[in-house]
Structure 1
């Protein structure tokens, strides 16, 4: 699952997390899977009280930390020419 996170005073962040137990977890074509991007999946109860169909559900906590702008700018943005095609 990919996330694109931004705020006015922070650098943009593109990140991902992978689901623990996925048999294809280490087959990422870009080799981007790291242990830090595999949060623990916790089974919980009380789902019906939350409006879910089942009482048991799985929960993942994923914390995102943004870094501040550098001299008021996002110094990670890349402006490069992109290929363009017409049909």
Structure 2
């Protein structure tokens, strides 16, 4: 004899699915590392999802704003100062 399973879609089942999904995401972590064991990033998955959504949207808004206004975008990197001990090498012909 075959058994019959029914699944009703109502507010209680939808709420339960969202609660389980959110709980799973909250309990999960994003870990980026190398096979040798060096860990580069270890953050919660919810934070990673927020960053993944907000960063591209903010970047697109910034690029659009530079097209329609006089905003300059610059990416800067500070380089450590090299030692002041420089030597001169003379090349004679």
TM-score > 0.5 by shorter chain: no
Q: By percentage of residues, which structure has more helix?
A: 2
Higher RCO (CA < 8 A, seq sep 6+): 1
Decide which structure has the larger Cα Rg and report it: 2
